[in-house]
Structure 1
Amino acid sequence: MAYSPGFLGAILDSISESIVVIDGVGNIQYVNRSWSEYGDTNNACIPSDDWHTLNYLTECDKASAMGDEFGTNAGSGIRSVLNGSQSEFYLEYPCHSPDEKRWFMMRVAPLQLNEAGYFVIVHKNITERKLAEEKVSALARIDGLTGIANRRAFDEFLHEECRRCMRLGKPICLAIVDLDHFKMLNDTYGHQLGDDCLRQTASLLQETVNRPSDLCARYGGEEFALIWGDTSLEQARQLLNQFLRSLSDAKMLNIHSPAGKYLTASIGLTSMVPTTDSDMDELIGQADHMLYMAKANGRNRIESQDKSTPGR
């Protein structure tokens, strides 16, 4: 039985996986409906231009040049199938939005049609499986005392969020929060009450993060760290002022503290639009320096530095 091109095209358009066919040099020859619809609403992951004018490898190279690891790996893998060094290529990659975590898999395989050689690239949403895997691995990234992210999770998250903001040209904010004279609280009331204060502080800080691009972590001891992706310095300051008000309202006694009879916090805040991988270390250094300034200027305050705007 012979099937018309329209019939076969309708079958491909009914498939939930996104499909694109390229020629031997990467020029796009065909996309199915799922691919087009996804590209129209998610151009941070897939460009939504006229598909028939695009070269898939060129798009991968553009993403790679902006520091996108997926673009680098995808371009290399596709070329390995095009030149025959691999029979097929498989890759799993994240494509998160500010409001949602998402993962996809990509598979590349050759297609011979008459005398012409083509290559089929399939993208499939694997978010459900990856979220289940995340729940398991998250147990190794949770601080046992406070129940929030630990230092390991902080380091990994900051690395990924810096790369995402670098790719999109968006600012990222980092705050380091230190509880003032916390040793005095422990010495006065005991470590059990000190642990209760750490847990309560973590809960108050957690209220300032509510998106996949945000993170609240225990940085070490009585220090905490907050990350906000695609967030301005002023927006971050508003969230931190909200936390300081909540901390004041909590009235956790620290009677011998020079900063006041209730527990207070000093905060170093910084913002930048990352341009290289080394900017992660610079971001931490800036936040740490601002924390030092907050302590030097009397504690119980926020000191900030904005590097997201040229000349600042």
Structure 2
Amino acid sequence: MKNNVQFLSMVLDSMTDHVSVIDAQGVIQYVNRRWISFGEENSQPNQCSAHWVGVNYIEECDKAAKLGDDFSIKAARGIRRVIAHQQQSFYLEYPCHSPEEQRWFMMRVTWFVSGDQEYFVISHQDISKRKKAEDHIRMLAKLDGLTNIPNRRSFNEFLHQEWQVAQRKQHPICLAIFDLDYFKLLNDTYGHQAGDDCLVKFATLLNQFADRPHTQCSRYGGEEFALVMGQTSIERALALIEEFKVALAALKIHHSHNRADRYVTVSVGLAQCIPNPLENETTLIDLADGLLYQAKTNGRNKIESASRTEPEPHL
């Protein structure tokens, strides 16, 4: 370590973070090798340390902010707050996607004093792997472990979202709740593995019928499934479910104790609402659930449907 400046420069150049140092006016005084190489890889060719030094980093953020870059607005504000000692440090996570891949970075701003001058270190760390892992975990948290379709939590979120859209646009929204007929007898007769296989086959088929905008199927609980159909008339929804029942029959999942048929069948409650401020999505759930009860009471393997466009009166 005979030459401390050279040694420290080599240390900074070995880092994977992109590091720059600015003065109190925002002017870049130093950049490390990774900062330079990232610029070269992202449409700033032939940039060396000399080209970066003297550039006002805050002004560059301000230029991007004027073009509508929200993250540049936050970055410039955060850097200024650290320079003014309104906060000790600042960090910001932001996307920086390329045409080839999705990337996220974390920006950190800290400060130090050298002699009688204050300097501010700006580092950008690639956190893409962490963000992708977090996104994957969030995705798994919304999937049913057995059937690999959205779970009840995801159903609640999606229905709420579509209800809000339907209320704003005054479009109809439909909900179908499915219940596999005599499923307990299937489990008792053929075993739980056969029951699980049946649920997976049913979910896989239902998911194929959810491949359209504003539509999602989910495992509602046990042997019950749900299909949310935003911006869909009850006529279109009914036709879709009838098509699904035909496709389910074609699978011929054997069920000798099904009193409605010798194969697996399903009872369905289908409800439509045009949302208004006096109701929320539980109105649609309650209506569909009541219709499902009617379908089961009336012999199963049936679709009971109804539409309500006006709120029930409050007594």
- TM-score range with shorter-chain normalisation? 0.5 to 0.7
Q: Which residue of 2 aligns with 1:273?
A: 274
Q: Which residue of 1 aligns with 2:225?
A: 224
Q: Which has the larger radius of gyration?
A: 2
Distance 1:211 1:135, change over 3 A: farther
Paired residue type of 2:202: T
**2:292 pairs with 1:291:** yes
Q: Which residue of 2 aligns with 1:101?
A: none
Q: TM-score normalized by structure 1?
A: 0.56
Give the secondary-structure state (helix, strand or coil) at the position aligned to 1:160.
helix
Task: Tell me, in whole angstroms, the C-alpha distance in 2 between the residues paired with 1:16 and 1:242.
Answer: 47
Q: Which residue of 1 aligns with 2:262?
A: 261
Q: What aligned pairs does 1:195-214 form with structure 2 within 5 A after superposition?
A: 195-214=196-215
Q: TM-score normalized by structure 2?
A: 0.56
What are the ranges of 5 or more consecutive residues in structure 2 without an aligned counterpart? Answer: 1-62, 71-130
CA deviation after TM superposition for structure 1 residue 297, in Å = 1.1
Q: Which residue of 2 aligns with 1:137?
A: 138
Task: Tell me, in whole angstroms, the C-alpha distance in 2 between the residues paired with 1:136 and 1:278.
Answer: 33
Task: Tell me, in whole angstroms, the C-alpha distance in 2 between the residues paired with 1:157 and 1:254.
Answer: 33
Give the secondary-structure state (helix, strand or coil) at the position aligned to 2:177.
strand
Q: What aligned pairs does 1:91-240 form with structure 2 within 5 A after superposition?
A: 135-240=136-241
Paired residue type of 2:166: C
Task: Tell me, in whole angstroms, the C-alpha distance in 2 between the residues paired with 1:309 and 1:285.
Answer: 15
Task: Tell me, in whole angstroms, the C-alpha distance in 2 between the residues paired with 1:15 and 1:194.
Answer: 57
CA displacement 1:235-260 (0-9 Å, x = unmatched): 10111011100111111111011111
Task: Tell me, in whole angstroms, the C-alpha distance in 2 between the residues paired with 1:263 and 1:153.
Answer: 26
Count how many residue pairs are aligned between Structure 1 and Structure 2.
189
Task: Tell me, in whole angstroms, the C-alpha distance in 1 between the residues paired with 2:137 and 2:149.
Answer: 15
Task: Tell me, in whole angstroms, the C-alpha distance in 2 between the residues paired with 1:208 and 1:174.
Answer: 14
Moved over 2 A (4+): 14-18, 131-136, 276-279, 308-311
Larger mean Cα displacement after TM superposition, 131-140 or 217-226: 131-140
Task: Tell me, in whole angstroms, the C-alpha distance in 2 between the residues paired with 1:258 and 1:245.
Answer: 18
Please tell me whether the aligned partners of residues 276 and 311 of structure 2 are also in contact (alpha carbons under 8 angstroms): no
Distance 1:221 1:310, change over 3 A: closer
Task: Tell me, in whole angstroms, the C-alpha distance in 2 between the residues paired with 1:210 and 1:234.
Answer: 18
Please tell me whether the aligned partners of residues 278 and 311 of structure 2 are also in contact (alpha carbons under 8 angstroms): no
CA displacement 1:151-201 (0-9 Å, x = unmatched): 111111111110111111111100000000001111111100110000000
Please tell me whether the aligned partners of residues 163 and 277 of structure 1 are also in contact (alpha carbons under 8 angstroms): no
CA displacement 1:230-288 (0-9 Å, x = unmatched): 00001101110111001111111110111111110000000011113742111100000
Task: Tell me, in whole angstroms, the C-alpha distance in 2 between the residues paired with 1:286 and 1:134.
Answer: 34
CA deviation after TM superposition for structure 1 residue 211, in Å = 3.0
CA deviation after TM superposition for structure 1 residue 212, in Å = 4.3
Please tell me whether the aligned partners of residues 178 and 223 of structure 1 are also in contact (alpha carbons under 8 angstroms): yes
CA deviation after TM superposition for structure 1 residue 16, in Å = 7.2
Give the secondary-structure state (helix, strand or coil) at the position aligned to 2:195.
helix
What are the ranges of 5 or more consecutive residues in structure 1 without an aligned counterpart? Answer: 1-10, 19-130
Paired residue type of 1:206: N
CA deviation after TM superposition for structure 1 residue 300, in Å = 0.5
RMSD: 2.5
Taking only the aligned residue pairs, the percentage that are identical comes to 48
CA displacement 1:23-49 (0-9 Å, x = unmatched): xxxxxxxxxxxxxxxxxxxxxxxxxxx
Give the secondary-structure state (helix, strand or coil) at the position aligned to 1:283.
helix
